[in-house]
Every structure is written in C-alpha cells, then in structure tokens.
Amino acid sequence: MFTGPVTVHALQTAVDDVDEATITWDGAEPGAPTPRVRVVSLRDTDAERLVLTDVDLSQCRFAGMQHLEKVTLDGRCRFATDPRGTRQVLAEEHHWRAAKTRPRTRRPRRATRWRAAPDGVAMVDAARLEVLYRKLRKALEDSKNEPGAADFYYGEMQMRRHSGRGGRGFAERALMWTYWLVAGYGLRAWRALATLAVLVALIAVAVKYAGFPGKPVPYIDALLYSLRSAFLINVKTTTVPDTITRWGEVFRILLRIAVPLLLGLAGLAIRNRVKR
C-alpha cells in the first residue's frame, strides 16, 4: 500500500552528466541500449496514490490491484497490442487468449499469436478481465484520454461477450454479438459502413425479384432504387415500375430504418476515436 503519493516517471531526455552507455543490468549485452522504464506487475498493491508517466506497461499484470480506477496514467504509457496491432490490450488478455488455443487442430488459430503467460503466473478469466478493463477505462477517462479509454471499452465489451457472466439469455448474447459484428461496439466505423453497403446490395437483390409486380427488373435498376430509398436521392431508372409490391414496401422501410442507424454508429465510432 502506498501511504503517500508515488510516481514512476520515465525521463524523455538523458540525465545531465550521466553516460547511459556505462549502465549495465542483468542479462544485458555490452553496449546494449538502455531499456525503457517498465512496470511488470502491480498485483496486490493499492493504486489510489500511484502516478505512472511514460512507462512501459506492455507486460504489467494488474489482477489483484486495489483502487485500479484511481491510478493516474500520465504522458504516453504504452500497453501491449493485439496481434493485428489495432488496439491496446492488457498482458492478462494475452495470457487468457493464448490459453484458449486448441492444440488438437492441425492449423493453429490466431490465438497462438497471443503471448502466453510466464511460468508460475496465474491466468485470470474473462469475467475478471472485464472488471480490469472497466476500471482502467475509468482511469483513462479521468485523465482525459478518451481515445485510449475507447480501446479499453472495446476490451471490456469483448470480455463481457466471452465471459457469459450473470446468466445472460440468448437474446442479450445475440445482441452483443450483433453489436460487435456490425459496429465493433460503436468503435469501428468501417464495420458500420461495410454493413450498410452489404445491406443495400442484398436489398437490391430482394427488390429485383420481389419488389415489383411482373418479371424481375435488371439488378442495376434494383440497386439504384435501393440507393434512392436509402439516401433519398433522385436517381432515374428506365425499367422500374411506378408501383411496388408489399414486399417492396417492406424492403424500403427496412432501408429507411437501417441507414440512419448504421450511419449514426459510424459517426459515433469516429467521434469516440478523435474526441478529447
């Protein structure tokens, strides 16, 4: 327990009159560069009065830490990233996902690219990771680091989706999976826009065969009709009848509902990434 304010601060420039080339540490090769300031574990500590500034937290373990939401993360603290480099993650998530690898499959899953836990380090489950992400998200939001907090919100929702804690019913699980797939929990604008493009294309196929009375219209005209219904733009078509079937009306209503929703999710994702 820190009984007073404690700061771990990595300096951006060398200390005056200190030759860092002469500094040695266990296991280092002669002349090796000075490593970054790292914190590798904060387990079983009380972080209420702890300040971390510009330190490497890519291997830090937080499980068991008290008052994690009150830790102050200042400057550019660096966390680990997922294998694709798209978001910041905790070292504990690396350990958890690496442990989920199925060794019986001939072709290893992507989980093998996650870093396994060191020997003797206990792994935490998804429910506990959900709590860790929630508390660290609160700490980053309090320090006005909204983009960084967005990554931890994504991790929180991922662990919530995987944990199945609280006896969630099928409807809630399906909703969370859909929210992840369609918009990345409101943090992946490209997913919402891609979903919109796929939806318009599929509706165009449906309109081609069931949207108008008589024989099917050409697909390009059905696509133009879908775009006109989705975005309320005046696109002229030559072979589309003036009347539509009941199914055609249903398809048009679906587009009128889905398009503002998906565009709103895309806008929300962009805002969460750029706001301060």
Query: What is the pTM (predicted TM-score) of this model?
Result: 0.77
What are 191-249's pLDDT values in tens digits? 999 999 999 999 989 888 888 887 788 888 788 888 887 777 665 656 666 677 888 88
Question: Which of 141, 80, 146 minimizes the C-alpha distance to 116?
Answer: 80
Angle between helices 246-274 and 146-163 (to 10 degrees): 130
Residues with Cβ within 8 Å of residue 65, at least 6 apart in sequence? 42, 43, 44, 45, 46, 47, 71
Spatial separation of the C-alpha atoms in residues 215 and 115, rounded to whole Å: 58
Question: Tens digit of pLDDT for each residue in 33-61?
Answer: 666 788 999 998 988 889 999 999 999 99
Residue 25's pLDDT band (cuts 50, 70, 90): low
Name which of 98, 93, 146, 163 is nearest 124 in CA terms.
93
Q: Which amino acid is at 159?
A: M
Per residue in 88-98, pLDDT (tens digit) is 999 999 999 99
- Distance, C-alpha 28 to centroid of its chain: 36
Cα separation, 16 vs 135, in Å, equals 38
Beta bridge partner(s), residue 88: 81
The mean pLDDT value of the chain amounts to 82
Query: Which architecture does CATH list for 189-274?
Result: Orthogonal Bundle (1.10)
Q: Domain segments of the chain: what residues?
A: 6-167, 189-274
What pLDDT, on the 0 to 100 scale, is given for residue 111? 41
* pLDDT in the model for residue 110: 47
Burial of residue 215 (number of CB atoms within 10 Å: 0-12, 13-18, 19+): exposed
